Amino acid sequence: MSINSTSFKGNSKLENVLIIGNGGRENSLAWAIQKNELVKKVYLIPGNAGSERINKCERISIDINNKNELIKKLDLLKINLIVIGPEVPLANGLADFLRKKDYKVFGPGKDGARLEYSKSWAKEFMRDANIPTAKFWKVNSLEEATKIIYSLSIPLVVKADGLASGKGVFIPNSKDECLKAAESIFNGKFGNSGNVVVLEEKIQGPEVSVFALCDGEKYILLPTAQDHKRLNDKDRGPNTGGMGAYSPTPLLTQDSLDTIVKEIIEPTINELKKRNIDYRGVIYFGLMITDVGAKVIEYNCRFGDPECQTMMPLMDQSFVSLLEKCSMGKLTGKEKINTSDKVSGCVIATSKGYPNEYNTGFPIKIGKIDTTDCQIFDSGTSLNEDGELLTDGGRVLSIVCQDKDFDMAFEKAYKNLKEINFDGIYFRNDIGHQVRENFSQEN
Ligand code: AMP
Ligand code: GLY
């Protein structure tokens, strides 16, 4: 959809910023945004127990689906810029609604969010724009899936088409497992998100995350990052939302990044424009570096979590102005992202049982933290009546540290983790192993 508005509420102001979402990602965005001296207040809907520990931040308890109440509140608070963190409100068209009310919004409309909420649509989009990605087959029934699975000789991965909180991808080891995965999706494991199944050629290589801030016409790139999706050390165990990350990643040299820009990023932005999609937000390119070059594994219409927590401390105070420029369609594309010359590493502390069933409500004890270039962004926490911090999610805390090199950054992060405790705390011990020179893993 094209966005006509040139006259926004609070046109050139940045005093009051609203962030929608309740995770570590949104807290790290708030932390980076409040650095700008023009910003007087950062509101979070709903935020979590860590949000109000951040300078200038205040939580607001309101249901974003109650549109009348929401607009009344935003008008009352004189909100100048709205940043939408998670994919679900974007897929539900919240950005479109707020833009119609003349708010400056960072986050794509429903049409752009489709890059994430329909994997089959995203694959067809890439095919049309000639963007490198794994081969795919879109299937509408188990019979169709059976035919394809047993007629192909290449290994496949199986994906639910729609949003599934990061759980809709299966990496089977045999054709029978493939079929079982497709069957469970068609049988309703992910509700309507599984009405269509995407079968994909299984490809191999390290994964990296690249983020482009877009204003509908132009874009600028953030520092690159690498996530750690598997639950256990040595990249074993089930996929999770992300157990840790580091940024920037030396896996992408300037040369390889230039190729990615030419073959993936610019064709994506051009294809969006061709389809009349005025994309004002971040495009997250989940890439796999294969033997024949980078291929897109997935698009997301939001910042990655925990990549965002990892990258935000590298930003200077001008970051929020870039988000604002995107929301107004005013990027020049020549802006420099001013980043610290340090590197950043993040380790996530989770509840026992995550990414499957887990219990919450355990008190979190935090001892003596080295706060120099270290942040703790709450991912899933709450407060009880006595003001005690409790676990309230699968991913509980993001421990982020910056330093001259990754060895030093992760040494600090793990030292701080020793000072944190709650019943069932779990974290990987090898985050950043790819870039830590002093890291050795036995077995
Ligand atoms: P997605 O939610 O699409 O990012 O998929 C989750 C994870 O599954 C990715 O980070 C990859 O590790 C893996 N994956 C997804 N698609 C493929 C593929 N075509 N080949 C190999 N691994 C894949
Ligand atoms: N870190 C992966 C994601 O946000 O989807």
For residues 253 and 224, what is the distance between their CA atoms, to the nearest angstrom?
Answer: 10
Q: Ligand 2 — pocket residues by CB below 6 A?
A: 166, 227, 241-242, 300, 304-305, 307
The reported pLDDT for the residue numbered 339 is: 86
Alpha carbon of 265 to ligand 1 centroid (Å): 19
The reported pLDDT for the residue numbered 6 is: 62
Assess whether pLDDT exceeds 60 at residue 54.
Answer: yes
Assess whether pLDDT exceeds 80 at residue 442.
Answer: no
Of ligand 2's atoms, which has the minimum distance to the CA of residue 227?
1
CATH of domain 16-108: 3.40.50.20
DSSP SS3 for 368: coil
Nearest Cα residue to atom 4 of ligand 2: 304
Structure-block tokens of residue 246: 């580091």
Which of 171, 204, 227 maximizes ligand 1 atoms within 8 Å of its Cβ, making it the mutation to test the pocket? 171
Stretch 77-81: mean pLDDT, rounded? 96
Of ligand 2's atoms, which has the minimum distance to the CA of residue 166?
5
For residues 218 and 373, what is the distance between their CA atoms, to the nearest angstrom?
Answer: 32
Tokens 């059976």, residue? Answer: 146
Alpha carbon of 7 to ligand 2 centroid (Å): 34
> Sheet holding 219-221: strands in order across?
219-221, 207-215, 280-290, 293-300
Alpha carbon of 288 to ligand 1 centroid (Å): 9
Domain ranges of the chain: 16-108, 135-201, 204-328, 343-421
Q: Which residues contact 134 (CB under 8 A, 6 or more apart)?
A: 157, 200, 201, 202, 203, 295, 297
Alpha carbon of 304 to ligand 2 centroid (Å): 4
384 within 8 A of 12, measured Cβ to Cβ? no
Structure-block tokens of residue 46: 């709903």
108 within 8 A of 95, measured Cβ to Cβ? yes
Assess whether pLDDT exceeds 70 at residue 443.
Answer: no
Confidence bin at 2 (pLDDT 50/70/90): low
DSSP SS3 for 82: strand
Q: At what angle do helices 24-33 and 319-328 cross, to 10 degrees?
A: 100
Report pLDDT digits (tens) over 358-411: 999 999 999 999 999 999 999 999 999 999 999 999 999 999 999 999 999 999
DSSP SS3 for 94: helix
DSSP SS3 for 427: coil
CATH of domain 204-328: 3.30.470.20
For the chain, the maximum distance between any two Cα atoms, rounded to a whole number of angstroms, is 62
Which ligand has the minimum distance to the alpha carbon of residue 126?
Answer: 1
Q: Do 16-108 and 135-201 fold alike per CATH?
A: no
Q: Percent of the chain, pLDDT > 70?
A: 98
Alpha carbon of 356 to ligand 2 centroid (Å): 17
Assess whether pLDDT exceeds 70 at residue 115.
Answer: yes
Nearest Cα residue to atom 15 of ligand 1: 297
Which of 159, 227, 298 maximizes ligand 2 atoms within 8 Å of its Cβ, making it the mutation to test the pocket? 227
* CA dihedral of 428, 433, 439, 443, whole degrees rounded to 10: 70
The reported pLDDT for the residue numbered 439 is: 85
Report pTM: 0.96
DSSP 100-163: HTT--EES--HHHHHHHH-HHHHHHHHHHHT--B--EEEESSHHHHHHHHHH--S-EEEEESS-
DSSP 377-399: EESSEEE-TT--EEE-SSEEEEE
For residue 216, which of 264, 155, 278, 156 has the smallest C-alpha distance?
278
Radius of gyration of the chain (CA): 21
Confidence bin at 440 (pLDDT 50/70/90): confident
Assess whether pLDDT exceeds 90 at residue 120.
Answer: yes
The reported pLDDT for the residue numbered 404 is: 97
More confident residue, 11 or 20: 20
For residue 271, which of 120, 117, 115, 163 has the smallest C-alpha distance?
115
Alpha carbon of 169 to ligand 1 centroid (Å): 7
Backbone angles phi, psi at 113, to 5 degrees: -65, -15
Alpha carbon of 297 to ligand 1 centroid (Å): 6
The reported pLDDT for the residue numbered 13 is: 86
Which of 282, 298, 300 maximizes ligand 2 atoms within 8 Å of its Cβ, making it the mutation to test the pocket? 300
The reported pLDDT for the residue numbered 166 is: 83
**343-421: CATH homologous superfamily?**
Phosphoribosylglycinamide synthetase, C-terminal domain (3.90.600.10)
Alpha carbon of 242 to ligand 2 centroid (Å): 6
The CATH architecture one would assign to domain 135-201 is 2-Layer Sandwich (3.30)
Which ligand has the minimum distance to the alpha carbon of residue 239?
Answer: 1
Report pLDDT digits (tens) over 170-210: 999 999 999 999 999 999 999 999 999 999 999 999 999 99
The reported pLDDT for the residue numbered 37 is: 96
285 within 8 A of 303, measured Cβ to Cβ? no
Nearest Cα residue to atom 2 of ligand 2: 304
